[in-house]
A and B are shown apart, each in its own frame.
Chain A
Amino acid sequence: MYAQKKKIAGVALIGVALAILPFVIGMGFGNAWMRMLDFALLYIMLALGLNIVVGFAGLLDLGYIAFYAVGAYIYALLASPHFGLHWPLWAILPLGALVAGMFGMLLGAPTLRLRGDYLAIVTLGFGEIIRIFLNNLNAPINITNGPKGIAGIDPLAKNIEIFGYALHSLYLIYYLFVALALLIVVVTMRLEKSRLGRAWVAIREDEIAAKACGINTRNVKLLAFAMGASFGGVAGGLFAGFQQFVSPESFGLFESIMVLCMVVLGGMGNIPGVILGAVVLTVLPELFRQWAGPMQMALFGQTYIDPESMRLLLFGIALILVMRFRPMGLLPSSRRKAEFEHAAEEGVTS
C-alpha cells in the first residue's frame, strides 16, 4: 500500500513538473527554448519507437528516419495548400501511424532472415530509397514537390488568449507533445512487460532458443518493426505540423544515426535511459550552437569556428567519450549493467 502511494505521489510530482515546465522555460529563457523543448519531446517519441526495434528486439535499424518521413509527408499532403486538403490533426495522426506501420512491415518482410549488420545495411538502403523517392516524386505527377519540399502546412495550434492573457502556440504544442509522449511512454512500458515484450527480448538474447520456445520469430519481429515505425509516423506528423514545412533534407541518414545515438547513448532497452538520451542529444548540441559564437567572441574577440561546425564537432567528441567511459549508456537498465560488469570481471575478451 505504501509503495502504491509513493508511486502515485511520484506520478503526480512528474505531472506537476511537466505542467509548469514550459512557463519556467518560456518566461525565463524565451521562445527559442520553448521550441527546443518541443523538439526534445519529438525526439523522445522517435527514440522510444526505435528502442522497440533496436533495444528490445535487438534488430539494428539504420533507416528508421524513413518512418518519420512517411508520417511527416502524410501530414504535409493532407493538411496543406499543396493538394488543397486540410484534414484535422486527429484524423491524420492515426493514419500516419498506420501507414508508417505498414511501411515498417514492408521493410521487415524481406529482411527478417538477415542478421546483425546485414539487416543494418538493408534498413539503411531502405531509408535512402524513401528519401530519394521523396526527392524525385515531383514528376511525372507532382506528389512530393521534390527537393523544394512542401510549405504552408497547417499549424498544429494557433496563438490564443486566455483571460486576456496571450499564450503563444508553442505552449499548446508543448502540451500536445507531452500528452502524446506520455502516451508512448506508457504504451512502451506496457509492451515491455507483456508477452510480446518478453518475446522481443528473447529474440534479442537467443533467436534459436526463442524459436524453440514456440515463438514465431518472423511475426514477432514484424510486429516490432511495425510498432517502432508507427511511433515514428506519429512523431513525423507532429514534426510536419510543428515546422509547417517538410523537405527530403530533414530525413537523411544522419537523422537516423542521431536517433540511434540517442537510444544507445542513453541506455539501450531502458526507457528512462532512452528518454535521457533524447533530451541530452537535443538540448546540448543546441546549447553549443547558441553559445559557441558569443563565447568565442568574448574569449578571442572573433569567431574561429563556425557554430554549426562546433556543434557537430562537440557532438562527435561527446559520442566517443560517453561510449568510452559508459559503454552501457548513460542510464543502463540494471540488468544489462550487471551483465557487463560480470563479463568485465571475468576478463572475457572477444
Chain B
Amino acid sequence: MTVLLQADNIAKHFGGIRALKDVSLTINAGEIYGLIGPNGAGKTTFFNVITGLYQRDGGDIVFAGQPLHVESPHEVTQAGIARTFQNIRLFAEMSALENVMVGRHLRSKGSVIGAMLRTPAVRAEEAAIKTKALELLAYVGIAGKAEVRAASLSYGDQRRLEIARALATEPKLLALDEPAAGMNATETAGLRALIEKVRADGTTVLLIEHDVKLIMGLCDRVAVLDYGEKIAEDVPAVVQKDPRVVSAYLGVPYEQ
C-alpha cells in the first residue's frame, strides 16, 4: 500500500493553548480515512494545518512523496489536496456552474492577454472548463441546478456543490470537514454513496465527522483526537472498542 500523506509530530498552538500536540498520522492512497474526536479535540485545527490555512508550529508533512509546502492554501491545492468547509463556503452570488468553474482555475492557464484577445486557445479552454464543470455537477447529482445561484440551493445541494468545486481542482486527496453536519438521514445516505463513488474513482478521502455511525460504516481507518493528541488509529472495529476512545467520548477518565 502506498502512503499518500504522512504527517509527523504536527504541533499548533494559539497563544498558550496547545491545540495540537505532536500529532502523527498516515493516510494511504485510495482509502477513506476518518478523523474523529469530541468537540474541541483539534480535528478542524489539524485540517486547517494540512490545508495551509494555519501555519503549523512544528512537524513535517510529506504528501505524495514530496514535502508539503504550506505557505498558502492555494499551494496546497496545487499540490493536490482539496477541501470543503464545515460551514459551507460557496461563492454565494455565482451560479452553481460558475462555482465549479472557479475550481478549474488551477488546472487552466488562460492569461489576461488571452482573455482580451479571446484567442482560439482561450476559447477552447473556456469550453473545456465548462464541459468539465457540467460533468462534475452531474457527478455529484445536481446537474439540473447549473444556473441556480449558489446561495439559493438547498443545504444538501450546497454540500454537494462544494464537493464538486473541490473535485474540479483534480485532487489526490479530498478533505471533507463535517460534510454530514445538519443533514437528515436520506441526505446522509446520499452523501455516503457519493463519497464511496469518489473513492472508487481513485481519489483518497479524508473525513472529519461527528456522526460516528457514518464514520464507522464508511471509513477504512480512523484516527481519534482528544485534547490535541492522537489517542488511537486503526480500523473502525478496533477503534470502537479502544477504552481510551470510549472514555474520551463518554467523559470517563481512563485508568490504566
Query: Which A residues lie at the B interface, using CB under 8 A?
Result: 187, 190-191, 193-199, 201-202, 205-206, 208-218, 223, 227, 335-336, 338-339, 342
Contact = CB atoms under 8 A, between A and B. Distances in A.
Contacts of A339: 92-93, 149, 151
- The listed residue with most A CB atoms (<10 A of its CB), out of B83, B91, B122, B149, is B91
Contacts of A335: 93-95, 149
Contacts of B93: 201, 205, 335-336, 339
Given A195-B129, A208-B89, A190 B118 contact: yes
B112 A191 contact: yes
Given A209-B85, A342-B151, A214 B91 contact: no
A205 B106 contact: no
Contacts of A336: 93
Chain A contact residues, majority secondary structure? helix
A225 B256 CA distance: 62
B45 interface: no
A190 B116 contact: yes
B106 A213 contact: yes
17 contacts: A191-B116, A193-B126, A195-B104, A195-B126, A198-B101, A202-B91, A208-B85, A210-B102, A211-B53, A212-B82, A212-B89, A213-B165, A214-B105, A214-B106, A223-B112, A227-B112, A338-B149
Contacts of B165: 213
Interface in B61-76: 72-74
B115 interface: yes
Interface in B106-148: 106, 108, 110, 112, 115-116, 118, 122, 125-126, 129
Given A195-B110, A209-B89, A339-B151, A215 B102 contact: yes
B169 interface: yes
B169 A205 contact: no
Interface residues of B, number: 41
Given A201-B94, A338-B149, A195 B105 contact: yes
B94 A194 contact: no
A196 B169 contact: no
- The listed residue with most A CB atoms (<10 A of its CB), out of B51, B72, B73, is B73
A314 B151 CA distance: 38
Contacts of A202: 91, 94, 102, 105
A113 to B, nearest CB: 11
A205 B112 contact: no
B74 A194 contact: no
Nearest to B114: A194
A33 B126 CA distance: 43
A215 B151 contact: no
Contacts of A201: 91, 93-94, 98
Contacts of A190: 115-116, 118
The 8 closest A-B pairs by CB, nearest first: A214-B106, A194-B115, A214-B77, A205-B91, A209-B89, A211-B73, A195-B110, A202-B102
Contacts of B94: 198, 201-202, 205, 335
A213 B110 contact: no
Nearest to A336: B93
A191 B105 CA distance: 14
Given A190-B116, A191-B115, A198 B105 contact: yes
A206 B89 CA distance: 7
Given A190-B115, A209-B85, A212-B73, 19 more contacts: A191-B115, A194-B110, A195-B105, A196-B110, A196-B112, A198-B105, A201-B94, A202-B94, A202-B105, A211-B53, A212-B51, A213-B105, A213-B106, A214-B105, A214-B169, A217-B74, A227-B112, A338-B152, A342-B152
A24 B105 CA distance: 47
A190 B105 CA distance: 16
Contacts of B166: 212
Nearest to A194: B115
A318 to B, nearest CB: 27
A205 B92 CA distance: 7
A184 to B, nearest CB: 10
Nearest to A195: B110
B73 A208 contact: yes
A335 B126 CA distance: 21
B173 to A, nearest CB: 13
A211 B74 contact: yes
B71 to A, nearest CB: 11
Contacts of B225: none
A329 to B, nearest CB: 14
Nearest to B79: A214
Contacts of A195: 104-105, 108, 110, 115, 125-126, 129
B165 to A, nearest CB: 7
A223 B103 CA distance: 19
B77 A213 contact: yes
B78 interface: yes
A213 B103 contact: yes
A214 B118 contact: no
Contacts of B152: 338, 342
B74 to A, nearest CB: 5
Contacts of A338: 149, 152
Contacts of B112: 191, 196, 223, 227
- The listed residue with most B CB atoms (<10 A of its CB), out of A187, A209, A338, is A209
